[in-house]
Every structure is written in C-alpha cells, then in structure tokens.
Structure 1
Amino acid sequence: MFEYFENRVLCVHGGWLVDSGIISMENYRNITRRKQVNILQKGGNGRKALIEFNTMRTDIKNKVIEIAGDPYAKVTTISFIDYIEQDHKAYEFFKNYTLDSGEALPEKNIKEYCTNANILNAINTIYQNKAMQRKALAGAKLNVWQKIAEVVSELPKHTYPHTLPTNHRRLKDKLNQYLNDGYSVLIHKNFCSKNAEKINEEAGRWIFARWCDRVQKCTSFNQLLREYNQEAQERGWKELKTEQSLINYLSPLEYLWYGYRYGELKAKEKFTYHHKTALPSMRDSLWYSDGTKLNFYYQDENGKTATMQVYEVMDAYSEVFLGYHISKTEDYQAQYHAYKMAMKTAGVKPYQISFDNQGGHKKLESGNFLNKISHLAIKTQPYNGKSKTIESAFGRFQQQYLAQYWFFTGQNITAKKVSSRQNSEMIGANIHNLPTLSEIMSIYTKCREQWNSAPHPKTGVSRLEMYYNSENPDTPQVSPLQMVDFFWIEREKQVTCTSGGITFKEKNVQFDYMVYNGDRTPDLEWLNENINKKFTIKFDPDDMSLIMLYEKTPLGLRLVKEAETKVVLHRAKQEQEEFEAGYFKTVGDKLKEIRIANRDKVEEILEQEGRRNADYGLNEPALAGIESSRAKKQKTAIGTYQKKVSEAVLLDENGDVDIYNIM
C-alpha cells in the first residue's frame, strides 16, 4: 500500500485507497482529474498508480493513518546517499560566479562547491523529517548530528569530492550558515589571493606610454626596465626587479600597443577578425564490455581483403547490445565511443561495468573515466572467458546472425563447429565482390538490431522488451551536464587564439571556431583582447559544432567561453545568400569602431604623458581606410604610396628608384 517513488518520495497505491474504502472510485477520478493530488506513476500494464502522500487532503491522510498506521514505518529503509541529488541552481551559481579579480571559478572548485551544496541539501531534508532520519540514518541512537557527521565523513571522496567539516558542531554551523546566506558561503574567503609585484596606476600609465612612444623608441624590455627604475626613484614608485614584471603588465595590452610599435597596418593584420570564406562553387545493474574482430571481410580502398575491430557494451540482464564502435584497432577511443552510445541508449549511469585489462582500458582508468560513468568499475579475471558473459553472448550472435553472410570470417580458431568457420573457397573466388567498409558497417548495424529484437533464450521475451520493462532504483538518470563531464574530450595541446578565431586540426581535419554574440556576429571585443592567448579545448568528438575554451590557472582549468563553428561566407556575390552582404558590413563597421576606440585610448594616455607625435612636432598618421580627414592633411595616404612604389620605374641598371618623385 505504501512505496517510495525513486527511493525518495513517499507514495500510496491509488487502487488501495479505493479498495480500502477511504475514497470512492468517483471521488478518486475527480481528485486525480482536477490534479488535487500529485500522481507520480500512472497505473496499468502491471504497474500500480502512485499518489504522493504529502499532496493528499488532511482528511484522506488521517484515514490512511487510521487504517494502515504510520506510513513512514512501513516502507523499506533507504540510505543517506539516496537523498543526495544534483542542485542545478548551485551549478549555475558557481559557473557564473565572478571573483574580485574578474575571473571565473576554476572547474575543480565548481565541482567541489556543487558537491558541498548537494550534501548540505540532503542533510537539511533529512534533519527536517524525523521519519526520514530513522530511514537514512538507520535509526541512529547517537546524537543525530554526530551520526550525520559520521555518515558525511564516510562518503567516498572520488564520488563526492566535498570539503565539509567532519566535526558535528562545525557541520551544523555550516548548514545554518548555508541556509541563511546561500551558496556564496561555500566559496573560500582567500580564493585566488596572491602576492604579486604591484604596479600602481600612474606607473602603469608611464610604462604603457613609454612602450608606445614611436619617436624615442624603446627597443627592449631590458631598456624599459632600466628607464622605469630611474623614473621610479624620482617619482617614489616601487622599483622592479626583473623584466618579467613589465612583460606581465604589457602582454594583456598587446592589442592596444602593437600598432604603435610595429605600425597600425601590421596590428590590423594580427588582431583584426578574418572571415572564413569558401571559394566560388558545396544516438543496469551490470554492463559487460569487450572488443573483438568484426567477423566480416571487406574490400579496402586498395582492393585488398581487410577486417575491422568492434567494441561492444552489453547489459548482462537482458543481453541487449547497448553501444558499439567499429575501428581498425581496439583502443581507448573505440571504448570511449561505445560507452558513450551505451549511456545515451540507456539514459542512466550503470551500477557496475566489468571489462578486461587489455586495449585502451588502462588509459581510460588512468583518466578516472570508468569510475566517473559507473558506481563500480571492475576488471574481469584475465584468461577466463566464463567470467565475461559478453563472450558467450557474442559467440551466439556470431553463429546466429553474422554467419549468414558469405563474407563471414569465421569465429576464433578455437571454434569447433564447421558452421563457425569461413568458406575460404567462396571468399577466394569473390575477392573483388567483397562489400565495402560502409556496407559491412550497415549490415552489422542491422544484425545488432535483429539480435536486440529477438527473444531472450531464458524468458522468450525480446531482449529490448526485457530491458525497457525492467527498473533499477540504484541507477539514476544521467543529466546533460553529466554527459558533458563524462564524454567531452580535453585536447592535449593548447590552441592559440588568432585574429581568425580558434583553429586546430584533429585527425588531420581542420576545425575553425569563433566566439559569437547572440545575433551570431563575432564577439570582436573578446577577440581583440584575447589574440595570442593560449586556451585548453574541450569538445565532443561526435559533435564538433561547439567547443569549450578553458584557461589554465594554478588551481585548475577555468571556463572562459563557448565557441561555435565559424560562419562560412561566399566570396562571389553571385553565390552569396541574402544575409551575407549585410553580415560583411556589420562586422566591418564594428572592426572600425574597435580600431578607433583602441587608437583613442592610447592617444589619451600619450597626451597625459606628453608623448604624442604632436608633442614632438610630428603628424599623427590616420587610420588607413577609416579616417579620410586625417588622410587629407597628409600629402599621400599609405595605400597610395605603396601603390606608387610597386609601379615605380628603375632609373638605371643598378636598380635605383626615384623615391622622391613617387610622391
């Protein structure tokens, strides 16, 4: 009559309410139709309707207690861990939190703080309900807070990487503080504090202006350090010990000073966004996994006979093949893709996965991947096929489905049945008629579907029906956030941001990305300030349309931005779509605004320090292609000058050019 839904919500069987005479069938229909109670599971097909106990009217609850007694004492005991749930609001808070330094929290700390919030939420839920205390804390006779602290301290750190106090008094104080002040109390007060060499605002302005001086040029950081320390003695600034302090100060501002040192056109080439253009012309209790030969011959691109490997993940209960990957070798990438497909098919995190210690499992283990995607990850006993149910199942799969095809390679060399061997004569006579790789992949997919839809040998019910009609309360649903955590790959080499955005090659294929605004125009301000910076990339190998950019910090990776596949525009107007001309203009206008803003920012600093060109009696060059008024004040624009140089005629056989007559 009573049952916990998903091990956390106390429910009453709807049919029992009617059968016991507590309410009539008509009344039951009315309150359910009007949604006066919360129905967590509808009845039918062997299932019982589950009504949330706490949503029923007081008179109905009193009758239930009068007839059946205390419902909380009649259901199965559940553990503290069952109350720990993902707090998505906590994740959003910490993900978007900005430190005093202007930086975001590193990923490692976000995970720690979210885990602390999840556990504190569970503690609060249990502490507020005496019946839940009896179940989650196994009827503890100790002081409740002593028991809670004991349970929290025993949580496995690899699954729950929390930093909550183990002393029961401090833990209670932490909960009260958390309930009063919210998520922010979980962030360490001294986070990211560092004792760095300080450069005050006035000194910083002098350094920047001296480095930008185009008349009395500063040729090196060594020279800049000497001159700075002389200026520091006169102005009472703190002297600097090494050039690195100057480099650290100026590097983030390179987009501003680069043009003043090397020319604005050079800065435009380096920092201006470049469009990517095309030339003119187009998818649980125990999972087993194992890799083996895909038992089909095929004809490769050179016309030779070849075979492939397949890695399969199978549910031991139903024998359903959940996920697979076909590749030339059994490596960690094949295992990764097979597990990813299996988890997408299942939609849950398995309780246990069992695997051998061959192939790429060692690499997946070293990265803690197998422990992340399951509660338990256990190696099977080596050289013992009976310890892996998947080998038996795959043997039957080969015999019943793969062996139907004439290009079947046969099972392994220990197979004794004649039907388990290949027909060498047939294959030898039809080498050039072998299917292609894509054809055998399609045929293999069809064979898997037939296997999953066929009756299970013990129940006579189809494997898929067995799987989907079964429930496991200890395997929680996998959220989209967990899928990102489990299956996005961190690229080993960092990528440098350039004026073209983020570009890198993966398996010899080039990928181009850009950080975009909400209207799909490039975030040029971000690009302008991040050119030359190195980022760590995380991506989903099955969907390369979106990547995450991370910055390495002493405390781990910090998420910076999301980047999307770069927009491709046509060069030829004949092939341009309607939006492209306006897109070019919008981006071009924004680029001009940024160039002007950068120039004006530098000019303001130079003016304050008396280091403009005008302060030396010289003209200020115009921004090429933007400022026609300045260009008129000069005798000839740089573009015109460059054109004339390219067309100049040699005066004599020595190669001399009449430079003075070009202008």
Structure 2
Amino acid sequence: MEVYEFYNNKWGVLSNWLFGKSGLLKQSTYKQLTQRNHLILLRKGGNGRKALVEFDSMRSDIKKSVLELAGDPYTIGKKYTFLECIEKDEKAEKFFNEYLLENGQSLPENRKKEYTCNASLLNTISKIINQTLMRRRVLGGSQKKMWENIAEIVKNLDKNKWPHSLPENYRRLRERLKVYQTHGYQILIHKNYCHTHSQKLTENSKLWLLAKWSNQVQRTVCISQLHQEYNLYALSEGLKTVEEKTIYNFIYDEEIMPLWYGHKFGELKYKEKYNYQQKTKLPTLRDSLWYSDGTKLNFFYLTEEGKMETISVYEVMDAYSEVLLGYHISKEENYQAQYSAYRMAIQFSGHKPYQIGFDNQGGHKKLETENFLNKIAHLSIKTEPYNGKSKTIENAFYRLQNQHLARYWFFTGQNIQAKKEISKANMEFILANKSNLPSLTEIKEIYKKIREEWNLSPHPFSGKSRLQTYLDSENEKAPKIEMWDMVNFFWVERKQPVKWSSFGFSFKEKKVTYDYFVYREDGMPDLDFHEKAVNQSFFVKYDPEDMSMIYLYQKDPQGQLRFVREAVLKTEIHRGKQEQEQFEAEWIKKVKKENKNKRIQRRNEMDEILKSFNMDAESYGLIKPNLKGLENSKIGRKSKKVMHEDVGSWQKKESLQTVEDIRELY
C-alpha cells in the first residue's frame, strides 16, 4: 500500500507521500507542522525506514484532503490485511484431491479448487476472530459490525484468484464457519453433488434413455426431444417425470458418454475421441520410412467429350524429408498406379527404403501377392485403417492442397470436412468458365510443376528445402539400388517361353510385336550365340515401361531360372538405297562379311572332320559343291568336262513349273 501503513496498532500515512506525490504539503510546511505537533510522527525515517504520520491525530483539514485522495485506511486496510492473512490449506487440497464420491468418481478439478479455497478462507476468518489484535486491526466494532465487515471483504474478493462459494450474507457465513469447525472438510462438499439429478431416474429408466439416445434408426436429435419422449414414457410406466437438466446430466455424465458415443456419432468418432493415441517421433534419416497413399488430385479438367472430371494421384513420400519421391496419375487407385509410383520413387532415390507404410486399399493386395512390397523394402507394414493421424503423408497432402493446389481457379476444394471457405471450390466461377478448363495433359504438367515446387520449398524443421534435406542425409541401412535390383523389383516375367529362330527372338506384348537380338560389345550381331540359340526356348523378363532391352533365361533341372544373356531391340535399317544412310550401308557390309566368314568357318571345320575319317566327298571320288555366292571353284579340285547345272537355275526352273509340267516329268 503506497499511502497507509499499520504500525503500533495505529494507522499511519507515509510522510513522503504527504509532501511528495499527493502535493498536499510543501516539505517546509511539513517540517513546521511536525515541530509544532500538528502532525505527530508514529515512526521516524532513516536507515531504510519510511517516516509515518499518525492518521487519527492529523489536523482536520489535512485529514479531509488525505481521505479524498487516498480513501479511508480503515476500509481499505481491512481487505489488504485480510489478504495478507490468507494461507492456502495444503491438507484441504490433499483431502479433496483424494476424495471419492458415492459413484466412485473423483471430484472435478474446478470443485477441488473451490472447496480448497473455501477451507482456506474459513481458516483465515477463524484466525482473525481469535486474535484480538488482528480483529481490532481488520474488523473493529461490535460482533455484528465485525461479521458484516468479514462478509463484505469475502464478497469483494477476486473470484479468479479466490474461486470460493461462501455465502454473502454475514449470518449464513457465520453459521458455515461453525459447521466447518465442528465437522471439518467433509461439510464443504455439497451433499447432493454429482448424483442428485440421477436419483429420480430408476435403473430401468437410465437404460431406456441410453437405448433411445443411441437408436441409430429412429434417431433422437437433441436432449429436448429425449426429455419430452422420456416424460411420456414415464407417465405410461407410472414413473415420475423429470426436468430436462436431469436427463442432460445423466446422458453427458463422463462415465456414461463412452457407452453411447460410438452409436451416436460412429465408431471412428469414438476411436478419435477415446482411444489412446501414441506419441511418436518421425524418422531422423532419409529412406528410413516411406509412406504411400492415393488421393484425389484436386483439379477439375475438361475431357475430349466436353465433360468436367477429376482424377486421382498416387504418391510415395519420404517421411523424414517430406520429399515426394514418385507418383502416378490415373482414374483410380489400382495396381498399375502403385507399381508406377514406387518405380519412380526407387529411381529417384537410388536406394532401397528400410520400411514402407501403406494402407490396404486399391491394388495393394496384388502387390502383396506378387511379393513386390517385400522386395523393395526391408519391412512393408500396413498402416492402421481409418487412422489418418498416424500417416505423415495425409498431413502432407492437406498442406500440399492448401498451400499449392488451392492457388488455381479450377481447384476442386479439399475434402468435405474442410471448414474454411478458402478450402472450398468457387463453383460459380468454375461453371461459368467450364469451357476454359485445362485438359488432362495440361493438368499433368501443372501437377508435375507443383510437386517440384513442394520439394524445393523449405522443410518445416530443417529450414533447408525438402529436397536438400533429403540429399544431405545418409542411411546405412538403405542399400543402393543396382541393375539386378531393378530387374528383380520391376521387370515382368512372361509365363510362356519363346523359341529363338533364324530371325532372332520375337514376341507380342499388348498386340505389339517386339524383335530382339544379342549383340557383341562392338555392336555387331553375336553370331556364335545365334547359331547355338536357334530352336532353343527362352524365358523372358522385361520392363513394361522400357522394352528396349530384355533378359533371357533358361530353367535348370530343378526348375530355377538361370540367366543366359541380355538382348536388345533388333537393329532396323532401310532396305532401299535411296533412304539408306552411310552408317547403314557400312553396317550391311560388315554383317554380310561376318555371315560369309561364319559359313566358310563352319564348312571348313566339318570338312576337316569328314576328311579325318575318309568320309568326305573326294574320298568317294565325288566333288563337293561350292558355297553359293561365295565360291566359283575350289582350288586343287580336278575339273571334269561335264555339264554342271547351277542350283540357282534349278530353283528358278522349279519355281516356273506348272502342275501339268510336273505330271509329264513323273
């Protein structure tokens, strides 16, 4: 208190206030008055003490001015002195914290504070009354005046600091203190608290109310309706009617609510409100955990038929950095969308994730059946269904939509639960500009750009871009992807083998014929392999998104695939000289030369074998034919003057024969 202070059982006024802040006296006047005893000092100043002038002995004109400026010390002082005397009752606090009601429940927190405050204030009143000096200082006067002053002080206490519920009437307050002093803390708890309103409800009535409130077919929409229907039921059953508050207190009792909450609002709402939710930490390394999920790509587009449509997108995201790794846009979330998104993610990352989290929707069952998910990750775990809070990717989708997609005028809006108007579509504007909606191709380009913006935007925790956050991290348990991994993860195996022919290797996929051949490192056909492969059957693995190369396999006796060679699309050249380029002409010459050399090599090898056993043509006195197109005559062979018919002439003659010619010949 800046003006008054209680000293030696008397109220005093601070001297420096009288000739300082108040402006009532000059310091010289103050000194004269104290010297003449017109102002009597209760306490001299010095050594840190402040001088005090006795309030009651002041000259009447000065006292009047002090009262006008600072108020009556006897009124003001009572409240402040009372507050100084209040001490929190720790025993009362413990009692009410541990107290259990008849129904086994604890007191609500606000009641605990209220009853502890009541006990503390009653203790203070008792202390002041029992101490004569304190009573005179704070209360003064007769017994009635004393209790009136106490009631006035208690009434005007700040309820935010002292949330009590003591009576304002001084007589009732006095009675409350007597009862409290006799019976202790127990008496401060309202005898009907927490169970009064339900006393009028029988056990059968409570069950009826629960059933009626939880009825999912003939629904009860509010407590007022339930109140009316219950009273009709009560009259028909000979029971007492009740007030609406009675039913409200029963239905919304903390112990009763979990019984009906799921039936009233759905089990997912019950789960969200009452199930225990784990507190988890996000990964601290890239590729530690990938999430994948499908959602609506929140854009309208115009089809070729002029219809306004939407489309879906399937995304794979790194949980640590929030980088969007791979995606696929399609009409629905299916096997192909998931397969393509994971493929892009693996190619983008270059590493195998330690764990992937996915729901069990769309084509995931097919991915699991083919063991695809277990191939690309050390662990593949289904996320708990209908539990969006557990998946970082759903929160990321929300922010992607809110921060990036919502900027475009053809934005469809977020899901139906979105409350902000900015999160909803402006359908008036969209429908007015339907003809100007982008095409699906344009939507795909826009979304590609948005994904890049997202990955280059600051990460919410690292401060760096999401992409840089991802690239700066290393994970020893996320191995680098090799070529064989890509084959194992993403290449498809044809169920039926294909036979190698003189033309090479050919098969159809989705009504398109693909021709392959095996080439050497120098780019020339591998004729050694070709000779051995003709008429052999091979199993094939290929990449559906890149048919330029395939792997050839054969099965061992145990039925296991054994890798043989890789083959690539067969080199195609122009047949006509007019369209041939120089490298094509050179290619033709090289291949022809290798074909000739291979023919000569194979003929000579076999000739040597025959000759070693005297089984060649010359051993029988006959002549070997020349390699047509390669040889005119053989060196060292004896020529005989006989008519030789060229095989080419014979073939030509044969091709011109008619049916009648053949009949005449034979």
* TM-score normalised per structure 2: 0.49
Query: Which is greater in Rg?
Result: 2
Please give the TM-score of this superposition, normalised by the length of structure 1. Answer: 0.50
Higher-RCO chain (CA-CA 8 Å, sequence separation at least 6): 1
